[in-house]
A and B are shown apart, each in its own frame.
Chain A
Amino acid sequence: MSTTTAGPGPATTPVRPSAAATSRTVGALLARDLTVLRKQPSNFLARTVVQPLMLLFVLGYVTLKITPGHAVGAQASDEATTLLAGMLAMVVLFQGIFAVAMPLVQEFGYTREIDDRVLSPIPVGLVAFTKVVAGALQGLLAAVVVFPLAEFVPAARPDLHPHWAVLLTLGPIGALMCSSLGLFLGTALDPRSVTALFAIMLTPLLYLGCTLYPWSTLGPIRWVQVLSLANPLTYVSEGFRASVTPAHHLSLYVIYPALIGFTALLLWQGMRHFRRRVVA
């Protein structure tokens, strides 16, 4: 290309991106999301801490204390152990919703702030995927932040049995799944349906995702137990149950493939919707 320029003008030769440049772009997109997080720590803490704090306080402390001849010792500890896994799953899901879905709904619906990132020289799908990774990182960070709450808020200490190999693999996969769900919801919904997101989708997802009880205890209500298998959050809750507690949980042979399958499906659909929102 032979454009002639004087002084600090535009590039005169076409520049083609290299793999190194692409990875720098991805790094910058991640850095952008983490910078926003760092600038508004109160936002992050509010959406991270309040919900699990209430959960642990009401279900792990208040209800136990007001039970006639209230639960003590082993029973209270069992309750705290169950809630610990559910709380971690819930916190990670909330990051997927608040760090990925809500900003996307807003940016696609009103502000189009994402346009500049979409114009960066990498495939559009990679911009979406980077958003998911940033959301997953925030999910993991949130899990670490709220972990101490589970130790001190309930009436009794939870029974902790960390299985590090499981935790270090299922944790990130679960966070990626929740973040992919955020991408899917954030790109599929328009701003007017955000209330529907909370009322119709998030509430059953949350309460029927084995956050408040282990899946195995659902035996007496078989249909709920079977239906729960369609809820992706079930595998995150049961996954955390398997990684940090000695409680009964779904087989890891089920949890791993299910989480990976849900992640792949939601990511694929989310990236497809994302592309459709930015390319006509």
Chain B
Amino acid sequence: MPSLLQRRTVSRPDGSPPAEAVVHAEGLSKIYPDGTAAVDGLDLSVRGGEVLALLGPNGAGKSTTVGMLTTGVVPTAGRAWVAGIDVAGQPADARRNIGVVPQRNTLDRSLTVRENLVFHGRFFGMRTADARREADLRLEQVALTHVAGKPVDSLSGGMAQRLMIARAILHRPAVLFLDEPTTGLDPQSRLALHEIVRGLRAAGQTIMLITHDMQEADQLADRVAIIDHGHLLALDTPETLKRSVDADTVVAVAAETPPQRLAALLREHVPGLRDVHILEDSVLLIVHAGQAVFPAIAAAVAGAGADLRDVRVEEASLETVFIRLTGKELRD
């Protein structure tokens, strides 16, 4: 699918990254000493002010990619820049422009909520008075002023996550990395977090959102980069990505028979199939638009003596895009 492939952004002749990119990676690769190629020749650009979602299943190379962009993992090949600074060449300089909300709670348990922010500001060279002012501002922004003096141990998961966001943006980084920010949160905390992300975007914050939740990517991101096995498979707006599937019709079929057998039946009897994907308990058909397939599906299943459980025309989602690109479901 050429329409889904990213147009390669090439750095300028002097080796510096394109000016409009806040984050820019070229041929970025990480091969671990045991031979695992976690990331393999990744080209990626995040523009100023946009939210870019890095979407992929567990083990796709998302964390390694973020690790390389945030100086915690040294690339084995390729280069990456954040705010124009080479992350591998000048990691300390690059870190000044980076805010990170990691997957796990890394708050300083020996300090209070407010102290976590004040010290973070001071780590970034702020004077104590400035750091305190910024801390109070950010506490208000993430609705944690009422627990400012509490130890961080007393925070709920959602509150801790909000505090980590406040901490990550305190020094006004050029780009904020959110690594699976809603994993393990209850629905209400999740919504609150989405609101905060939208607010940051409205204020012009460039964000790289790492997630395996396609709904989250769809709702929050300006553009979505889909990666698997360390490769970039597609990079575009959610709408364009979905439209690329929409040219066809997506039909999900479930029957009282194993999906493998069902798929074989449908392949044999249903005309105009572009693609068949076997899912956990159903089969996904990508059909040429305008093809009447329902009678053929019903006949095929009945002919094999099985009961049809469900036939649904699905709206194209990022999940469908992912299945088309990789042949598998995102959560597997």
Q: Which residues of A contact B (CB under 8 A)?
A: 1-12, 14-17, 20-22, 24-25, 27-29, 31-32, 35-36, 39-40, 111-113, 115-124, 278-280
Contact = CB atoms under 8 A, between A and B. Distances in A.
A237 B133 CA distance: 47
B266 interface: no
Given A9-B205, A14-B84, A14-B174, A116 B123 contact: yes
A4 B48 contact: yes
B122 interface: yes
Contact of B204 (A3, A27, A29, A31): A3
Interface of B: 19-20, 22, 32, 48-49, 67, 70-74, 83-85, 91-93, 95-98, 100, 102, 104, 106-111, 115-116, 119-120, 122-127, 137, 167, 169, 172-176, 202-206
A29 B174 CA distance: 23
A29 B73 CA distance: 23
B74 A10 contact: no
A20 to B, nearest CB: 8
Contact of B115 (A35, A117, A124): A35
A100 to B, nearest CB: 14
B111 A111 contact: no
Given A120-B124, A121-B92, A28 B22 contact: no
Contacts of A40: 110
A7 B84 contact: no
Nearest to A16: B93
A39 B119 CA distance: 15
Q: Pick from B19, B85, B98, B106 the residue with the most CB of A within 10 Å.
A: B106
Is the contact region of chain A dominated by helix, strand, or loop, or is it mixed?
loop
A1 to B, nearest CB: 5
Contacts of B97: 11, 14-15
Contact of B67 (A20, A111, A280): A280
A106 to B, nearest CB: 10
Contacts of A12: 174
A10 B173 contact: yes
B96 A16 contact: yes
B92 A113 contact: no
Given A5-B204, A10-B169, A35-B111, A120 B104 contact: no
A31 to B, nearest CB: 7
Contacts of A1: 19, 22, 48, 83-84, 174
A170 B123 CA distance: 31
Contacts of B106: 111-113, 115-116
A7 B203 contact: yes
A113 B124 contact: no
B204 A10 contact: yes
20 contacts: A2-B20, A3-B49, A6-B202, A10-B174, A10-B176, A10-B204, A14-B96, A16-B85, A16-B93, A31-B119, A40-B110, A111-B109, A112-B106, A117-B123, A120-B95, A120-B123, A121-B92, A278-B72, A280-B73, A280-B74
A12 B98 CA distance: 12
B122 A14 contact: no
B48 A17 contact: no
B206 to A, nearest CB: 6
Contacts of B203: 5-10
A11 B72 contact: no
Contact of A25 (B108, B109, B123): B123
Contacts of A31: 119, 122
B19 A2 contact: yes
Given A111-B106, A115-B106, A119-B98, A10 B92 contact: no
A3 B22 contact: yes
A280 B123 contact: no
A17 B92 contact: yes
A124 B49 CA distance: 29
A270 to B, nearest CB: 19
Nearest to A106: B109
Contact of A4 (B108, B202, B204): B204
A147 B327 CA distance: 72
Contacts of B137: 8
B153 to A, nearest CB: 11
Given A10-B205, A279-B73, A39 B124 contact: no
Contacts of B107: 113, 116
B92 A123 contact: yes
B75 to A, nearest CB: 10
A16 B175 CA distance: 15
Question: Which 5 pairs from chain A and chain B are nearest by CB?
Answer: A3-B48, A5-B204, A28-B122, A9-B204, A14-B83
Contacts of A124: 91
Contacts of B48: 1-4
Contact of A5 (B49, B92, B176): B49
Contact of A39 (B83, B110, B127): B110
A115 B102 contact: yes
Nearest to A9: B204
Given A7-B204, A112-B106, A117-B123, 18 more contacts: A1-B83, A2-B19, A2-B20, A3-B48, A8-B137, A10-B172, A10-B174, A10-B204, A11-B173, A14-B83, A16-B96, A22-B125, A25-B124, A27-B122, A116-B106, A119-B100, A120-B124, A121-B124
A15 B94 CA distance: 9
B125 A17 contact: yes
A24 B203 CA distance: 28
A72 to B, nearest CB: 48
